[in-house]
Amino acid sequence: MLSEKFLNEFEEYLTSGRLEEDYGYSDEDRKIEILEYLERFMDLAEEVDKVATKLLMPHLSEVFPDKTK
């Protein structure tokens, strides 16, 4: 499970510019790794949105069925 501490530290890393600085000084392999981490977080954010929507609006699927299935 995620902790508030981890989320706060990651948010600070992103918003402080340190991630961009690290990326700028990194070799190509590390740059790829950083981009892969960011891509994974973006994918997870999409899942978070889906789950949050289901939790907050449990009957939404009755009104708008999931057409991706």
Residue 5 lies in a domain: no
Q: By residue range, what is the domain housing residue 42?
A: 30-56
* Contact indicator for 30, 42 with CB cutoff of 8 Å: no
Residue 12 lies in a domain: no
Residue 36 lies in a domain: yes
- Using one digit for the tens of pLDDT, what is the confidence trace for 33-50? 999 999 999 999 999 999
Domains held by the chain: number: 1
Residue 35 lies in a domain: yes
pTM of the model: 0.71
In three-state secondary structure terms, 62 is helix
CA distances from 54 to 1, 15, 66 (A): 19, 29, 12
- Using one digit for the tens of pLDDT, what is the confidence trace for 9-32? 999 999 999 999 999 999 999 999
